[in-house]
Structure 1
Amino acid sequence: MFNEKIFINNLNEIRYGTTKISSMKTMSEIMELLEKHKCEEILTRNSTQTGTKQIAFVYQGLPYMITIPKVYVGKSKEFNEDIGARLVKYYLEIILDWAKLRVVNLENLLVGQRIVQIDGKNYSMLDVVNKMPPGKMLGAFAEKPPELNG
């Protein structure tokens, strides 16, 4: 869905680049939005591997996980999590409304965020696909990508 890191030149490049709304508040709004659209098992966590926030949920029986992107402004070495959370919130608002109106199939839009389990560990489908060596077929996950071993 989103790159883990997003780089923008200045805060005025995007309409909510100067948001004063904290990522904590936005995460709460995202949870309410998911509940409104009948998502279940909504959880948030801080990833110790990437240092990012993630939100997981079940929609129509299928598990999903979305990582809040780190947004870097200009030459700053520090990321702005508040902007990343707003990006996710507005994206989810749109696609959940479209799914409700049957304009789109939500499962197709969120396929990269589907959670798959390999050896008891959860991965997003996008992580699995991105780490598969070029030219390899995913098949039924008969072979794990080398980066997921361990």
Structure 2
Amino acid sequence: MYSLIPVLEERLERKIIDISTKDLIDAVYRVVERNLPERDLIITVLYNPDYRKKLKDNLKIFLSERLKYIFLIYKDPSGKYRYLIDTTAKDNSANLLFMPLKEEITILDKVLKTKKVHYKIHKEVSTIGITYYLPVVQGREAKAILVADFSFEVL
């Protein structure tokens, strides 16, 4: 009986997180989806400053005390991840190198390969953080990854 407590606790935690973030992450993703260009997403973001600014401004609307960061990244031909858009950057962050954490590289590669959403829960002493990784699919190819970081204070 006592061995079930950690399992139930984890299920409850995941359910609370899902309820707390699902609608917002879906809305953020819809903004990207609805604003996909007819041409290649990566080329459009890198070479069309008006498009880049519009998408960044639309994504910045969602930033809050709980949703701390939203950015769009892609994998360049050499296998390095680079920013397309960073909603918290003051200057143009397009094409700057993104330095993923060691455990994130596997997740990022998996998102591009499977074209499926993944998330990672980070537990700190006073906060619980969740990072969502959503594939941005154009045509049949995952062109980029939308990354959103949530942070929740623990009671």
TM-score of the pair, normalised by structure 2: 0.30
Return the structure number with greater strand share.
2
Return the structure number with greater helix share.
2
TM-score of the pair, normalised by structure 1: 0.31
